[in-house]
């Protein structure tokens, strides 16, 4: 049944779904119309909000590009690449390939969502190379979905980390909320691990039949990116380019700082720290600056989608915030909720807002205070809002292509190649999470 449904989605999507960039443009016009009709903003004001937000993701865009290309370079380091090949050689059938990819992506996604997106995709590519009877598209979709499914329990989930940080924006109202009440709470753990089991089941059932399988295309495979740097060292410049002394001196300096950071802050894998760690590990494993630079250069082409499309999503967020659409959505759902239905409506409003504002941190800073204020009418703890908003945000990431762009860039696929599988997964996860966020608070509170 799921195979049939996913194939119908696939046919429809191939016929009607444009590429991810057109999706962002259409979402821009939809937000423009909603702002003008729902919040009575003028075309001039909405256009102003759009441009005001257009460049707000520059730092995040750079972080995502870095996590993509430094993760790529790290995986292509000889030692890591050999290990990845060894692991990718274990699956022998399409079914075991799907299971391995989902679990591999989930394991790395548990540590960091950025790590899961990059390593999960690269692992899926290596598995696809070695299991020709496995459909390449479903493996890439499975890697992305596996990361999404585990995110409610991930130690890198944004909102729980924000409210556990001293001097956060809502500290006066809710204080500091420990991770034991958010990331490691029953509602988040159940959502993550039941969701992961559902995703595993769904992808096994959605796997294409042998006649419909599209394997990895070896003809389009690029040259091995980690070209060996010239070791002739005939000139002073070549000696500098291939100097292991210079290479490991900077690596030692980098790891010295990381040791100090971990001693003071613990194992907190926020994006800047993770990117810095990737760079240092990549340099260490490549051995020379020249070899590492070659790998970085080869990985750059996969970042084009991020570079172009993220500013458009920042513009959409600018319109959502500037026009007050986020406030309207959050307040509308809160106003019709009661003590039993409030967790579900909090989850639903976050899921809808995430389609327009695919930035967990930005969404929480705007939507969180509104829902926390609404919570005062009910006998429920603040953790209900933190957890349900986080789960809602995660769920519709399978509909919103913002975070799948790195995977598509690495795999050289289009959105239509994987979106059918992602949509089926999202529907199933939405049903499961809706039940959990509605029933569990009644039991716990």
Percent of the chain whose pLDDT exceeds 70: 91
- Residues 202 and 294: their CA atoms lie apart, in Å, by 39
Please say if the pLDDT value at position 246 is more than 50: yes
Where is average pLDDT lowest: 185-194, 352-361, 408-417? 352-361
pLDDT in the model for residue 99: 97
Residue 426 tokens, joined = 């999202």
% pLDDT > 90, the chain: 55
Which residue has better confidence, 166 or 385?
385
Least Cα distance to 140 among 197, 87, 215 occurs for 215
- Does position 124 have pLDDT exceeding 60, yes or no? yes
Which residue carries 């002073």 as its tokens? 236
Q: State residue 226's pLDDT score.
A: 44
Would you place residue 379 in the very low, low, confident or very high pLDDT band (cuts 50, 70, 90)? confident
Query: Is 276 within 8 Å of 258 (Cβ atoms)?
Result: yes
Burial of 59 (0-12, 13-18, 19+ CB in 10 A): exposed
Report the alpha-carbon distance of residue 22 to residue 30 in Å, rounded: 12
Query: Which stretch of 99-113, 157-171, 212-226 has the lowest confidence by average pLDDT?
Result: 212-226
Which residues 6+ apart lie within 8 Å of 262 measured at CB? none
């Amino acid at each position: 049944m799921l195979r049939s449904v996913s194939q119908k989605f696939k046919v429809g999507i191939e016929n009607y779904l444009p590429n991810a960039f057109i999706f962002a443009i259409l979402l821009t016009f939809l937000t423009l119309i909603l702002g003008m009709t729902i919040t009575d903003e003028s075309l001039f004001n909405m256009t102003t909000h759009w441009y005001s937000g257009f460049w707000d993701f520059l730092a995040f865009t750079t972080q995502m590009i870095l996590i993509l290309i430094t993760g790529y370079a790290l995986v292509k380091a000889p030692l890591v690449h050999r290990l990845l090949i060894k692991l990718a050689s274990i699956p022998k059938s399409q079914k075991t390939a799907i299971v391995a990819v989902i679990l591999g992506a989930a394991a790395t996604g548990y540590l960091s969502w950025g790590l899961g997106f990059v390593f999960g995709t690269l692992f899926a590519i290596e598995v696809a190379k070695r299991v020709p009877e496995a459909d390449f598209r479903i493996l890439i979709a499975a890697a992305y979905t596996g990361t999404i499914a585990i995110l409610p329990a991930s130690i890198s989930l944004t909102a729980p980390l924000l409210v556990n940080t001293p001097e956060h924006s809502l500290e006066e109202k809710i204080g500091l909320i420990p991770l034991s009440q958010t990331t490691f709470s029953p509602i988040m753990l159940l959502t993550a691990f039941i969701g992961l089991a559902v995703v595993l089941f769904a992808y096994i059932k959605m796997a294409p039949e042998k006649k419909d399988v599209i394997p990895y295309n070896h003809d389009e495979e690029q040259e091995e990116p980690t070209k060996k740097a010239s070791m002739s060292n005939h000139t002073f410049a070549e000696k500098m380019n291939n100097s292991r002394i210079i290479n490991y001196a900077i690596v030692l300096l980098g790891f010295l700082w990381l040791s100090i950071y971990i001693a003071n802050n613990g194992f907190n894998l926020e994006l800047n720290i993770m990117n810095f760690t990737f760079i240092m590990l990549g340099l260490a494993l490549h051995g020379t600056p020249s070899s590492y630079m070659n790998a970085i250069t080869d990985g750059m082409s996969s970042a084009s989608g991020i570079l172009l499309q993220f500013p458009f999503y920042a513009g959409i967020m600018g319109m959502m915030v500037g026009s007050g659409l986020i406030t309207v959505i959050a307040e509308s759902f809160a106003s019709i909720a009661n003590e039993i239905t409030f967790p579900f409506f909090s989850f639903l409003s976050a899921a809808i807002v995430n389609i327009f504002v695919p930035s967990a941190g930005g969404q929480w800073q705007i939507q969180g205070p509104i829902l926390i204020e609404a919570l005062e009418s009910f006998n429920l703890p603040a953790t209900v809002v933190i957890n349900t908003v986080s789960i809602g945000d995660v769920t519709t990431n399978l509909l919103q292509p913002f975070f799948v762009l790195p995977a598509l860039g690495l795999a050289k696929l289009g959105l239509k190649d994987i979106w059918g599988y992602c949509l089926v997964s999202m529907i199933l996860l939405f049903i499961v999470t809706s039940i959990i966020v509605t029933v569990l608070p009644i039991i716990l509170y």
